[in-house]
């Protein structure tokens, strides 16, 4: 339970380690690990530090701590602009203002029910926004960040290797966040998502960067187009290919539109081919292959306010996505219902799971954008193979579950063969395509819990020896 006390984080702490601040006990710590070991759950933090880098470290430690990530954190001292975005501003000037901020946050925290159940970064973001009425999640530009524009708060909340943009988009799809103003648009690398790109012209024939502008001539006799200096011979002009003397423009030769020449292969052309080169992952691609990323400001939606208070997300009316795959909640509800029917009427039921086995290889070979499009296309084709009574669910980008009422061994064999055909058709010109591991289960009368049954299926998919590759 959260106390009314305050935690002060500072390089040096006073003797005794405690102060009286705004009518509350302020506990002082010079090490975050020591604070964690104390078991204190303060109503707010105050960071007192004159070193901006150290202040940033304190801020990130608080925001990455799932038990305290949404707490108020005030800064008294130096802080960088980027790190300031994940704090709650400078320490209020008056005791009254500080007390009002803490009391207002505590009052909203009391409305949160069951908040300890989900401490994922996405859930903590919703809680963070709920505790700060009118708070707006803003993108910031930072040349040191691979994406250039990013959301500092999302980066601070993310404790693992997941891309914060993925769960931000999921919150948008679930209707838990509302878009504000469009702050920026940028093109990003299709392989790693970086916005640090350089654009350069290359030869369209050999792709060399050794190209330059030259005056060119076109010999009417043999058709050669080449830089003018190659035609210069003595005091006149002579074609280096056929030896014709070029005396009269319009009769012997003319000046073509091709004014760029390659120093490597001598190819002459009008314009070079523009290539985008990523400074982070070293991949090159056409500008048309770059991702377009729109950077919005975000606010908590009405549904997001309910979810942040601990109410079920199942209140959302959306049961299916645009490809008619069920949400996880609806899938579990349907599975539970069919299990009950199976126990009372003895009907047959099959549960099939698919997990992508070569996701990293696909992304490395095709880039993130093409990889996502390929997986979406595969899921759409798979949905077309299912019967009207069948139900599918995309647990994540690389995992699908199918609920097949009445399916027998013959139907499962047919599905496995069709999956193999889909994989063959999805093979890309680069020689790579999605490889799906498949696991199946036929629930019996002992299976009564849909959540546990789905968890068992996911465990089978997680082990490469237990999930065979569809062929």
Could you tell me which residues are beta bridge partners of residue 48? 76
- At 274, the pLDDT band (50, 70, 90 cuts) reads very high
The residues pairing with 233 across neighbouring beta strands, listed in sequence order, are 236
Contact 280, 174 (CB under 8 A): no
- The confidence score (pLDDT) of residue 170 equals 84
Place of tokens 């400001």: 297
pLDDT interval class at 64 (50, 70, 90): very high
426 vs 432: CA distance, rounded Å: 9
**pLDDT for the residue 448:** 72
Q: What is the pLDDT of residue 318?
A: 61
Report d(CA 259, CA 384) in Å as an integer.
53
Which of the residue ranges 16-25, 175-184, 284-293, 462-471 would you say has the lowest mean pLDDT?
A: 462-471
Q: What percent of the chain is modeled with pLDDT above 70?
A: 91
Confidence bin at 187 (pLDDT 50/70/90)? very high
Instruction: Flag whether pLDDT at 181 surpasses 80.
Output: yes
Per-residue confidence at 303, pLDDT binned at 50, 70, 90? Answer: confident
pLDDT at site 471: 46
DSSP string over 206-249: T--S-EEE--EEEETTT--EEEGGGTEETTEEB-TTT--B--SB
Is the model's pLDDT at 91 over the cut of 60?
A: yes
Average pLDDT of the chain to the nearest whole number: 85
- Residue 53, pLDDT above cutoff 80: yes
pLDDT at position 465 is: 35
CA distances from 276 to 201, 273, 285, 401 (A): 9, 10, 5, 38
Span 383-418, pLDDT tens digits: 888 888 899 998 888 899 999 988 888 989 999 999
The pLDDT of residue 115: 55
* pLDDT greater than 80 at residue 314: no
State mean pLDDT over 295-299.
Answer: 95
For residue 58, CA distances in Å to 41, 49, 87, 251, 339 come to 16, 9, 10, 79, 50
The pLDDT value recorded for residue 383 is: 86
CA distance linking residue 405 with residue 346, whole number of Å: 12
Average pLDDT over residues 62-84: 93
Instruction: Calculate mean pLDDT across residues 76-105.
Output: 91
pLDDT of residue 18: 59
Question: What is the predicted pLDDT for the residue at 468?
Answer: 47
> Where is pLDDT greater, at 186 or 314?
186
Tokens of 227: 């830089």
pTM of the predicted model as reported, rounded to 2 decimal places: 0.66
Q: With a cut of 70, say whether residue 177 has pLDDT above it.
A: yes
Domains assigned to the chain: 1-110 (3.40.50), 204-271 (no CATH), 319-469 (3.30.70.270)
pLDDT band at residue 269, thresholds of 50, 70 and 90?
confident
Banded pLDDT at 20 (limits 50, 70, 90): low
């Amino acid at each position: 339970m959260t106390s009314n006390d305050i935690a002060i984080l500072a390089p040096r702490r006073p003797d005794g380690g405690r102060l009286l601040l705004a009518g509350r006990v302020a506990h002082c710590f010079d090490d975050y690990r020591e604070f964690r070991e104390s078991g204190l759950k303060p109503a707010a933090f105050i960071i007192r530090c004159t070193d901006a880098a150290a202040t940033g470290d304190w801020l990130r430690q608080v925001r990455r701590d799932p038990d305290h990530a949404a707490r108020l954190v005030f800064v008294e001292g130096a802080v960088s602009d980027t790190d300031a975005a994940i704090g709650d501003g400078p320490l209020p000037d008056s005791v009254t203002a500080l007390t009002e901020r803490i009391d207002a946050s505590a009052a909203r925290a009391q409305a949160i029910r069951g908040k300890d159940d989900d401490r994922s970064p996405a859930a903590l973001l919703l809680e963070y926004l709920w505790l700060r009425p009118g708070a707006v999640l803003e993108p910031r530009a930072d040349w040191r960040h691979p994406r250039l524009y990013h959301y500092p708060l999302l980066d601070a909340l993310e404790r693992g290797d997941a891309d914060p943009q993925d769960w931000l988009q999921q919150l948008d799809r679930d209707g838990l966040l509302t878009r504000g103003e469009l702050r920026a648009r940028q093109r990003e690398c299709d392989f790693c998502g970086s916005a640090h790109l350089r654009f350069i012209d290359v030869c369209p024939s050999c792709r060399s960067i050794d190209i330059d502008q030259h005056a060119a001539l076109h010999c009417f006799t043999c058709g050669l187009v080449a830089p003018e200096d190659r035609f210069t011979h003595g005091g006149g002009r002579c074609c280096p290919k056929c030896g014709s003397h070029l005396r009269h423009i319009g009769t012997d030769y003319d000046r073509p539109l091709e004014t760029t020449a390659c120093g490597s292969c001598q190819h002459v052309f009008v314009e070079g081919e523009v290539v985008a080169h990523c400074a982070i992952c070293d991949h090159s691609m056409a500008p048309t292959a770059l991702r377009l990323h729109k950077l919005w400001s975000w606010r908590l939606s009405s549904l997001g306010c309910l979810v942040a208070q601990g109410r079920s997300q199942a209140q959302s009316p959306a049961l299916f996505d645009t490809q008619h795959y069920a949400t996880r909640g609806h899938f579990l509800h349907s599975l539970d219902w069919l299990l009950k029917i199976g126990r009372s009427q003895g009907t047959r039921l099959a549960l099939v799971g698919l997990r992508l086995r070569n996701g990293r290889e696909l992304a490395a070979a095709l880039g993130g954008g093409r990889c996502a499009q390929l997986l979406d296309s595969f899921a759409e084709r798979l949905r077309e193979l299912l019967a009207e009574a069948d139900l599918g669910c995309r647990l994540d980008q690389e995992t699908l579950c199918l609920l097949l009422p009445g399916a027998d061994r013959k139907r499962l064999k047919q599905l496995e063969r069709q999956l193999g055909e889909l994989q063959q058709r999805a093979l890309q010109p680069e020689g790579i395509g999605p490889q799906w591991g498949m696991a199946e289960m036929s629930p019996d009368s002992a299976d009564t819990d849909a959540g546990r049954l789905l968890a068992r299926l996911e465990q089978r998919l997680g082990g490469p020896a237990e999930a065979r590759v569809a062929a």
